[in-house]
Structure 1
Amino acid sequence: MNNPNVKINSVQILSNDWYTLKKVNFDYKTLDGNIQNQSREVYDRGNGAVVLLYNEENKTIVLTRQFRMPTYLNDNTDGMMIEAPAGLLDDDNPQDCIIREIEEETGYRVEKVEKVFESYTSPGAVTEILHFFMACYTPAMKVSKGGGKEEEHEDIEVVEMPFEKALQMIHSGEIRDAKTIMLLLYAKAYDLC
């Protein structure tokens, strides 16, 4: 935090339940030299990692399907979302995190993942940086049914499908998760699947 055009005046914690919601008051020097006083609510949920599991030989991918309350409240009829496996870093490095999440959510045990990029998910309100990975899988890597951790109230369905079908599901609106769309389009652009 070393931008000379920003001076933070105050930070107020509005909520510290599941994650932390802060109200930040600051002065910002605009391009024309004027100083504006602004307040923004900032949601800090930590950083995360996400992966697209793909099988080169079969041209398939593994995604998850689970209930997401925020989407339910915003016109997603049943609240179910099809997503790439993901999770918060929880003090791990991104690679260790995503390898753990792959096994917890999908039941596949992979040892090698490739980081392809990172992105702020919603920079106007959320601090999170997501680390994006690709990883190959084979049926022999399946060590459990997956489904997530019960103690974390995860109820995750593992969904294996052809890569081309997943691309079609973006257009049909069946896949509306930004991180998943980003990885699918990345894989398509670089002809990985």
Structure 2
Amino acid sequence: MSRLKEQTIRSETIFEGRVIRVQLDEVRLPNGKTSTRELVKHTGAVSVMAVTKEGKMVFVRQYRKPLDKEILEIPAGKLEPGEDPKECAARELEEETGYRAQNLKPIVSFYTSPGFADELLHLYEATGLSEGEANPDSDEFVERVELTLEEAFQAMESGEIADAKTVAALYIWHNRVLTEK
């Protein structure tokens, strides 16, 4: 056993919603004392870094209620239980932007907020894009936006791009552009 591991003494689900489950755990700390942890359980998600043949990254503008504002994000969505992340990435890209990708390649998977949530986000690169019709979920209202690397960094500096997955994708894209030069 790890010398840093916390042992769960008791666990109670305090909320179960469509997207998350919240549980309250009582844990024994490495020093023998006890504490509580509020945990958000999530099935995981995907995000897609899609760049057009014109060299523009594909984003969606979406209102985010927790922030009470619109932001630009790369296409993304929640995994259904047992769903293959690559299939989810293809579905989300098409639903939100209308684009289909000839190739979807995994880039990295990372935990979005490991201090309180177990959400694992899988980032994919989409290439060989062909344009089609967007078909977002009935409760999802998005607008497709395509930006050059310079425009995307300006949007990040202005706060219009402010979420971690999109910031990570921008820096990955930036590094790839630098490497190709």
TM-score with structure 2 setting the length: 0.90
**Structure 1 182/51 Cα, relative in aligned 2: closer, same or farther at 3 Å?**
same
Match of 2:95 in 1: 104
The match for 1:173 is: 159
The size of the alignment, in residue pairs, is: 176
1:35 paired with 2:25, answer no
**C-alpha deviation, 1:9, in angstroms:** 0.5
Query: Which stretches of structure 1, 4 residues or longer, exceed 3 Å deviation after superposition?
Result: 2-5
Map of 1:182 onto structure 2: 168
Alpha-carbon RMSD across the aligned residues, in angstroms, is 1.7
Task: Give the equivalent residue in structure 2 for 1:124.
Answer: 115
**Residue from 111, 135, 143 that aligns with 2:132:** 143
CA–CA distance in structure 2, aligned partners of residues 8 and 115 of structure 1: 33
Task: State the match for 1:24 in structure 2.
Answer: 25
Equivalent-residue separation in structure 2 for 1:115 and 1:177 (angstroms) = 19
The gaps in structure 2 that reach 5 residues or longer are none
Distance in 1 (CA, whole Å) between partners of 2:36 and 2:92 is 36
TM-score (normalised: structure 1): 0.85
Q: Give the counterpart of 2:77 among 87, 95, 113.
A: 87
**Alpha-carbon distance in structure 1 between the residues aligned to 2:96 and 2:35:** 41
Amino acid at match of 2:48: V
Give, in angstroms, the shift of residue 6 of structure 1.
2.5
Counterpart residue type for residue 63 of structure 1: F
Deviations 1:124-149 (A, max 9, x none): 111101011111244xx1121x1512
Instruction: Give the AA of the match of 1:47.
Output: G
Contact 1:9 1:26 in 2 (8 A): yes
Alignment of 1:157 onto 2:126: no
